[in-house]
């Protein structure tokens, strides 16, 4: 059985995400949100009126 850990700290418009895999960060507002994962990938989400949203992940994971 694996173990999980996640802690999120909000600093102004930014959010620092601590997990077992490392440190990531994110920022954005209601319409546009950008996240960086601990392995270097970036994810961009755009929310549109009517409940629609589009997300795209950029980059390949960097294995340690």
User: CB–CB of 40/21 below 8 Å?
Assistant: no
Kindly report, residue by residue over 9-58, the tens digit of the pLDDT: 998 889 999 988 899 999 998 899 999 998 889 999 999 999 999 999 99
For residue 6, what pLDDT band results from cuts at 50, 70 and 90?
confident
């Amino acid at each position: 059985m694996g173990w999980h850990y996640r802690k999120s700290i909000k600093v102004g418009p930014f959010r620092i995400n601590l997990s077992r895999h490392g440190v990531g960060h994110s920022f954005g507002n209601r319409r546009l949100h950008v996240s960086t994962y601990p392995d270097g990938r970036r994810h961009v989400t755009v929310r549109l009126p009517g409940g629609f949203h589009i997300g795209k992940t950029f980059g390949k994971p960097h294995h340690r």
